Amino acid sequence: MVRIWLRRARLALLLLGLELIPCAGWAQIKLYLKDGSYQLVKSYEVKADRVRYYSIERSNWEEIPRTLVDFEATKRAQEEEKASQNKELEEARELEKERFERPEQTGFEISPGIRLPQEEGVFAFDGTRVIRLAQSTGEVVTDKKRKALLMAMPGPILKSRSLVTLAGEKAPVRISVPQPTFYVQSSDNLGDRLLLIAVKTGKGARVVERIEATAGGIGKPNEVRDEILVERKQVASGVYMLKPVKELPAGEYALGELADQKLNLLVWDFGVDASGWTVTQSH
């Protein structure tokens, strides 16, 4: 688990650095001179037989004869810098695709030649790959429309409502089959408590469930979510298999732990994409 955390931290730092690199590249230009040296400048312009530039070192505008400047070397250095930045950006994008760690398959065999990792976690199996699902934290927010209605109507007529939401309209982890199998490996039998939930996509966020309570706090809050029926089976000690009984339409989903009839705000979210298959429609 430490190795996975370090890898993700390294990825986050790399991506952050790459967002800053282009700005630094544009703001700092190596203006090469014919003697092989260079001036670090913010910008430069050619005026007749003079080159005017803004020196980063001295924070001032300066001029030198045009004959002293090696324009070819300056241009070549800029092109090499841009190529280097593009290469680093591409490498970062490849790492970003691996936001979920591809597990080392040394544990329970789920299919001939395909095994789970030995460490704990929640995994999806699409028939060819074992995909580690990452956890996201849900946030409880107030339903502003319902709050406005409550203020306008006297007495506990309407129920107050809050929403458990996840940031972003799509989960980073994507699955390309309509009926994946999930494996939950833990020492406390977590797989016996997980629910598969269809998540509703909204503007800039995804709604996992609604929490409704009578205005004024009377009565026990009611949690409303779109649960999906799954086949659940313990296949080994500490290992549970969960599989939706029907194909999942393309959309957003989450696996969440239900404890004392309340959903844990830490969920394993993912999306199902429709490319590559046709979901059978019932008549």
For the segment 178-198, what is each residue's pLDDT rounded down to a tens digit? 999 999 999 999 999 999 999
Task: Check if the beta carbon of residue 104 is closer than 8 Å to that of residue 117.
Answer: yes
Average pLDDT over the chain, rounded to whole?
Answer: 80
- DSSP codes of every residue in 179-236: S-EEEEE-TT-GGGTEEEEEEEE-SSEEEEEEEEEETTTEEEEEEE-EEE-EEEEEEE
Helix (H), strand (E) counts: the chain: 3, 21
Question: Taking 60 as the threshold, does the pLDDT of residue 268 lie above it?
Answer: yes
The confidence score (pLDDT) of residue 58 equals 87
Domain limits, CATH 2.30.30.100, in the chain: 2-97
Of the pLDDT bands very low, low, confident and very high (cuts 50, 70, 90), residue 212 is confident
Question: Taking 70 as the threshold, does the pLDDT of residue 67 lie above it?
Answer: yes
Beta strands across the sheet bearing 230-236: 130-132, 121-125, 181-185, 239-244, 230-236
Maximum pairwise Cα distance, the chain: 85
Strand partners, 255: 196, 268
> What is the tens place of the pLDDT at every residue in 88-134?
778 777 766 655 555 555 789 999 989 999 889 999 999 999 999 99
N-to-C CA span, the chain: 47
Q: What is the mean pLDDT of residues 43-47?
A: 91
> What is the tens place of the pLDDT at every residue in 4-19?
444 445 555 555 554 4
Q: Which amino acid is at 205?
A: A
> Angle CA(14)–CA(18)–CA(24) in degrees, nearest 5?
135
Q: What is the mean pLDDT of residues 210-223?
A: 68
What share of the chain has pLDDT > 90, as a percent?
Answer: 48
Q: Which H or E element spans position 117?
A: none
Q: What is the mean pLDDT of residues 7-32?
A: 55
Question: What is d(CA 95, CA 14) in angstroms, rounded to the nearest whole number?
Answer: 9
Of the pLDDT bands very low, low, confident and very high (cuts 50, 70, 90), residue 251 is very high
Q: What is the mean pLDDT of residues 53-72?
A: 91
Quote the tokens at residue 226: 């779109």
The confidence score (pLDDT) of residue 19 equals 44
Question: Taking 80 as the threshold, does the pLDDT of residue 80 lie above it?
Answer: yes
**Highest mean pLDDT pick, 36-45, 150-159, 208-217:** 36-45
Neighbours of 24 (CB within 10 A): 11
The confidence score (pLDDT) of residue 241 equals 97
CATH class of 2-97: mainly beta
The confidence score (pLDDT) of residue 10 equals 52
> What is the tens place of the pLDDT at every residue in 124-160?
999 999 999 999 998 888 755 544 434 444 545 445 6
Question: Taking 60 as the threshold, does the pLDDT of residue 220 lie above it?
Answer: yes
Place of tokens 């409704």: 212
Please give the torsion angle defined by the CA atoms of residues 115, 119, 120 and 125, in that order, rounded to the nearest 10 degrees: -20
Question: What is d(CA 133, CA 15) in angstroms, rounded to the nearest whole number?
Answer: 21
Question: What is d(CA 217, CA 212) in angstroms, rounded to the nearest whole number?
Answer: 10
